Structure 1
Amino acid sequence: MKKKIVAVLTAGCMALSLAACGSGETSQGENEKEKITFVLDWTPNTNHTGLYVAQEKGYFEDEGLEVEIVQPPEDGADALVASGKAQFGISFQDTMAPGVVGEDALPTTAVAAVVQHNTSGIISRKGEGMDTPKGLEGKKYATWDAPIEKAMMENVVEADGGDFSKVELIPSTVTDEVSALESKSVDAIWIFYAWAGVATEVAGLETDYFAFKDINPAFDYYTPVIIGNNEFLEKEPETAKKFLSAVKKGYEDAIEDPDGAAEILCEAAPELDQELVKASQEYLKDQYIADADRWGYIDPDRWNLFYNWLNENGLTENEIPENTGFSNEYLPE
């Protein structure tokens, strides 16, 4: 759902990305590295920092891996991982939902939580009454027109005593949240605070904000997550564990030294705004693990709570059984 706002990559970038995607087969040479392709969900940002830290510090190499990090094709990371052209990628529990079960189920599994809690919510200009969901009545909300998105919005607005039918839904064309709010082309936007929320702070724009998880516990789902290709996970479980061991070290380093990690990300993606990256990294250092025992752990109760909510509200074509779509077995202790 979050990825509906995807700019179409150029044909050249598409070709490079797909050419970089290996089959994941084990190298036979004694000194050769096993090749892994990891596909992002979007352009590089602080959700991805641990990957770049692991790359820069040689953690993948230490595990005998050669990892290529690529940007997604137009149809996204999920399709590329499902096809086996990439072994791992970034997805989200909500966007995974339609493909978790059924005839058209995608052969992917969430194997690690990038951040422990849902840091998304609704941002608006400060002082205009949208600090709570009911305040969205009569205001312009930029929607992706996705069923799960709108059901969640309706749930939080009506839980706050509001009437969702009074919220003005306009098609989202937002690519820059600061500009969109300042120009008043839109009043409220669904964001991930670690990037777009922090961007408003860096820009000096005063805002109001409420988080979905603070209103309905079912909305404290996992977003984003690292997904793996099921066939690869089954055939190469030890390689998957080595990969996640290196990634875990990368994210732990980003927690311990957010400034240093931000510098590594900016070196890998020099087009990024360094001030924003450093501020975002400072925010995320407390979110990667938060109150969990270790990085990457997916709490079955919280995973199931969200999918049960989808089931109860008829938001998936097929009912999703509990403990479907994720696994903690590849995570290092």
Structure 2
Amino acid sequence: MKKFKKIIALLLALSLVCAFAACSKTNSDDASDDTTKELKDVTLCLDWTPNTNHTGFYVALQKGYYKDAGLNVSIVQPPENGATEACSAGQAQFAIDAQDTIASAFTSATPMQVTAVAALLQHNTSCVMSKKGAGIDSPKGLEGKTYLTWDSPIELAMLENVVKADGGDWSKVKRIPNTVTDEAQDVKQNPDHAIWVFDGWGGVNAQVNNVEVDRFFFKDLNPTFDYYTPILIANNDLIKNDPETVKAFLSATKKGYEYAIENPDEAAQILIDGDDTGSLKGSEELVKASQKYMVDQYVADAPKWGYIDPARWNAFYNWLGEEKIVEEKIPENTGFTNDYLA
């Protein structure tokens, strides 16, 4: 696909015209034409359907923080080939990704033209979840059990690392494709299954549905795996040519996340009301419970919202290079900046 990037970019430009028009939430929906003309158009492409990772954006939109910053922001769903591709091609000024999944963007022959400008969560909430009492409360417990995998090289390398460190035999872990949409119900019905989930959604969903589970967290087993997920990325041309827009967007977004921290119930409702995809319908209890979980995750122990610790960022990419999981070693301090945070 990357060899035909120019062709893809053209196709993407055509497809996103329709996709962005049909699947967007904008702060100019109720604004007059005169007002809209004074605002700078900015598009944010999500990585998935709306969830509590994204709440601050929807709050900033609904509360008028973007408008106050001189921005007309549209929030859209990712195209088929991903949010990062759209951002790199200039079809979206900002997008959501994660440090692990974006690693290849900095090592390919045609690297993506994006840079991480903020962390949406300060710590990696990834964990492996299984039915409580099934014996998979530690990595070694995966021996003889079934792990549902996305078959990502980074994912599997991390699992192998923690299983071996725990004295387990990675070759004895059965792997099948992960096609599950409700992880809590899957492990409840299949006691031999273990699934990678993000605790703020998958783990909270288990609690909401009274499914008792065991979990082990990657960041607790290996500090190198406390990488940043998810992250906000920006188009490199925008950063170079219009840094004031980057600063304005981040400042308004920061206000949105800070409001969500102080007002989780109202913020959750704003997210639910702002969801144009319908994916949150019927999940109001989960959204509100997840939002309360996120209160301690958005800033946590960081000096400010969005901050990316260079040591942690570099440690993970150094590990990818040492394990030869990426095509070539990623130089330190590649792919992120804190320069535009308020």
What is the letter of the counterpart of residue 329 of structure 1?
D
SS of alignment partner, residue 53 of structure 2: helix
Which string of whole-angstrom CA distances, capped at 9 and with x for unpartnered residues, describes residues 86-115 of structure 1?
A: 000100000111111342210000000000
Question: Counterpart of 1:276 in structure 2: which amino acid?
Answer: L
Q: Which amino acid aligns with 1:137?
A: E
Aligned counterpart, 1:16: 18
CA distance in 2 between counterparts of 1:239 and 1:108 reads 15
Could you tell me how far apart the structure 1 residues matched to 2:36 and 2:138 are? Answer: 60
One-letter code of the match for 2:216?
F
Distance change in 2, residues 1:231/1:20 (3 Å): farther
Corresponding residue SS for 2:102: helix
Shift of residue 314, structure 1, vs aligned partner = 0.3
Q: Which residue is equivalent to 1:231?
A: 237
Distance 2:191 2:137 in 1: 18
CA distance in 1, matches of 2:190, 2:53: 28
Structure 1: how far apart are the matches of 2:118 and 2:88?
16
Deviation (angstroms), 1:37: 0.3
Tell me if structure 2 keeps the 8 A contact 1:41–1:91.
yes
Partner of 1:25: none
Match of 1:206 among 201, 206, 212: 212
Question: How far does residue 30 in structure 1 lie from its aligned partner after superposition?
Answer: 9.9
> Is there any run of 5+ residues in structure 1 with no aligned partner, and where?
1-12, 23-27
Classify the secondary structure of the residue corresponding to 1:241. Answer: helix
The answer to which of 29-38 and 51-60 deviates more is 29-38
Q: Secondary structure at the match of 2:197?
A: strand
Q: 2:129 aligns with which of 119, 123, 127?
A: 123
> Which string of whole-angstrom CA distances, capped at 9 and with x for unpartnered residues, describes residues 295-320 of structure 1?
00000000000000001000110110
TM-score in terms of structure 2 length? 0.89
> What residue number does 2:30 align with?
none
For residues 165-204 of structure 1, the aligned pairs below 5 Å read 165-184=171-190, 187-204=193-210
Q: Does 1:220 align with 2:226?
A: yes
Q: TM-score, normalization: structure 1?
A: 0.91
SS in 2 for 1:324: coil
Q: Per-residue deviation at 1:188?
A: 0.3
In 2, Cα distance between the equivalents of 1:91 and 1:265? Answer: 19
Q: Give the AA of the match of 2:224.
A: A
Deviation, structure 1 residue 16: 3.4
**Which one is further off, 307-316 or 168-177?**
168-177
Partner of residue 287, structure 1: 297
SS in 1 for 2:79: coil
8 Å contact kept, 1:20–1:37 = no
Instruction: For residues 243-291 of structure 1, give each alpha carbon's deviation from its aligned partner in whole angstroms, at most 9, with x where no partner exists.
Output: 0000000000011111110010111125411100110000010000000
How far is 1:15 from its partner?
5.8
Q: Aligned AA for 1:128?
A: A
Aligned: 1:329 with 2:339: yes
Deviation at 1:14, TM superposition (A): 6.3
Corresponding position: 1:65 with 2:75: no
Alignment correspondent of 2:61: 55
Asked if structure 1 preserves the Cα contact closer than 8 Å seen for 2:119 and 2:308, the reply is yes
1:138 and 1:19 map into 2 onto residues whose CA distance is 49
Report the AA paired with residue 167 of structure 1: V
RMSD in angstroms over aligned alpha carbons? 2.0
Q: Match of 2:10?
A: none
Amino acid corresponding to residue 164 of structure 2 in structure 1:
E
Out of 118, 142, 145, the position equivalent to 1:136 is: 142
Q: 1:31, 1:187 → 2: CA distance?
A: 54
CA distance in 1: counterparts of 2:64 and 2:35, whole angstroms: 20
> 1:4 is matched with which residue?
none
Shift of 1:181: 1.4
The structural deviation recorded for 1:183 is 2.4
Provide the C-alpha distance between the structure 2 equivalents of 1:301 and 1:309, rounded to a whole number of angstroms: 12
1:37–1:69 contact (8 Å) kept in structure 2: yes
CA contact (8 A) 1:21 1:37 kept: no
Q: Distance in 2 between matches of 1:44 and 1:69?
A: 10
* 2:101 alignment partner in structure 1: 95
What code does the residue aligned with 1:262 have? A
Deviations 1:112-149 (A, max 9, x none): 00000000010000001111000000001001111111
Given residue 160 of structure 1, which amino acid in structure 2 is its aligned partner?
D
Report runs of 4+ in structure 1 exceeding 6 Å deviation: none
User: SS of the residue aligned with 2:101?
Assistant: helix
The alignment status of 1:86 with 2:104, answered yes or no, reads: no
CA distance in 1, matches of 2:169, 2:50: 38
Q: How does 1:140-151 map to 2 (within 5 A)?
A: 140-151=146-157
Distance 1:171 1:186 in 2: 15
- SS of structure 1 residue aligned to 2:74: strand
Change over 3 Å in CA distance of 1:231–1:254 after alignment to 2:
same
Separation in structure 2 between the aligned mates of residue 167 and residue 123 of structure 1, nearest angstrom: 15
The Cα of 1:179 is off from its aligned counterpart by: 2.5
What SS is found at the alignment partner of 1:208? strand
